[in-house]
Every structure is written in structure tokens, then in C-alpha cells.
Homo-oligomer: A and B are copies of this chain.
Amino acid sequence: MSEFAVTERSRVRRVPKRGAYDKETIYRILDEGLVCHVGLVEDAQPFVIPMSYARHGDTVILHGAPGSRLLKYVRAGHPVCVTVTLLDGLVLARSVYHHSMNYRSAVVFGRGRLIEAEREKLAALETLTEHILRGRWRDARRPTRQELDATAVVSIAIESASAKVRTGPPADDEADYGLPVWAGVLPIREQALAPVNDPRLRRDIPIPPAVADYRRTR
């Protein structure tokens, strides 16, 4: 299956032509993002919590302290929503009304379970680590048994998902194109700046190329 079924839950209602349901589009967004926003409900009150995450096949992996309210909620199997948004630009139209943003967002619905088997847990932590920086699982000290016990990892099976994407220039009203107003797109990128050595870094250790030349897949 390379396309998610369009369900009542996942259907893009506002500007449907911007919606997409194919895995390639959705997974590319999930794989580029660094922070997701997880939605949960307690007593009819929604909570939206930013989390580090990674996609692992058709699942989204989260981790944290075993006592974390969010992870307890997710591992209990309640329905959750995980959203990743990549802002690509400000769309500056001639009219206030047609101002917009260029973006790619993925909204994922599913239910979680706790990963208990050590081998699966290590694989999930490797995916989370590699998602942030490729090669880091090889370079950094791996988790000890004690650290593994102090980490809860949950896997959310993606039941349905949708992407929403806007690209391109503003779409002004025909009558406005002659107005003396600058219009266009101001591209926005999440970029890495120069790495900052840990104050206690050993002097003989250089900055690895993967850090110095850091880029998210685009």
C-alpha cells in the first residue's frame, strides 16, 4: 500500500487540492522534520506537546521518561494525533486577504504501544538517533542496561494520515496585480549554524563532517 485511505478523520477539508494521501509525500515530511506535535485528550481537554520523534517503517516512534504523562497516555493505546509542519515561506500578496504561507504538513493518526523487547527498543533508539544526525548511533556511546530501563519508547502504528502542501507565488485577485505593492515569497528554512563545541570537549577531537555540513534531506 503506497496510499492511505481517505477517512472522515484524515480528509483535508480546507482547500482539498492541497491535500495528499500518498506515503511518499507524507513520509518525506516526517523524515525531514525534527519536532512533532503530539495531541492527546484528558477530560475533554486537548494537550499539544512538542516531541522529538522518528519514523520507523509505518510507525512513529517517541521516547522519554517512563513516568511521562504523554508516554503513559500513548502506551495505553488511546488514539493520538502526531503532526509535523515544515514552514517553507511567507507568501506576501498585494492584498492582505491573499497572504498565506508555503508549508508542508503531515497529520498522522494512530495508536501506540510500549516497545518492551530489548532488541526492538535498541533498534527504535537507533532510528531516533539517526533521525537527528546520521552516523550518530555509531559515534556516540550506546545506552547501558540502566539507561534502557530509564527510557520508555513507544511505537505508534500509522492508521491513517494526510499531508497538506502549499507552494508557489501569491494568488492575487486579477484587479490587484497593477497595485504598487511588492509581492512574492520570502523563503524560510530551518538551517544549522556553526557547531558550538562543548566547553569540556577534549582538545584533540575535531568537529565531524556530518555535524559541520549538517543538512536535513530535502
Contact = CB atoms under 8 A, between A and B. Distances in A.
Given A139-B182, A184-B196, A202-B178, A50 B105 contact: yes
Given A41-B41, A140-B93, A35 B101 contact: yes
B45 A44 contact: no
Given A46-B41, A180-B202, A196-B185, A97 B9 contact: no
A182 B211 contact: yes
Contacts of A47: 39, 81, 107
Interface string A13-54: 110000000000000000000110111110011111110100
A143 B169 CA distance: 20
Contacts of A81: 45-48
A201 to B, nearest CB: 6
Q: Which of A50, A109, A199 has the most CB of B within 10 A?
A: A50
Number of copies: 2
A4 interface: no
Given A50-B83, A195-B184, A151 B35 contact: no
Contacts of A101: 34-35, 52
Contacts of A139: 181-182
Contacts of A198: 169-170, 172, 183-185
Interface residues of A, number: 96
19 contacts: A9-B45, A14-B68, A40-B46, A41-B44, A41-B45, A44-B79, A48-B82, A92-B140, A96-B129, A96-B140, A96-B141, A96-B142, A96-B147, A178-B202, A182-B208, A183-B200, A184-B201, A185-B196, A186-B214
A46 B49 contact: no
A160 B129 CA distance: 34
Given A90-B214, A92-B211, 17 more contacts: A34-B101, A38-B48, A39-B39, A39-B46, A44-B79, A47-B81, A90-B133, A95-B143, A96-B136, A96-B141, A97-B144, A97-B151, A133-B186, A140-B181, A177-B202, A184-B207, A185-B196
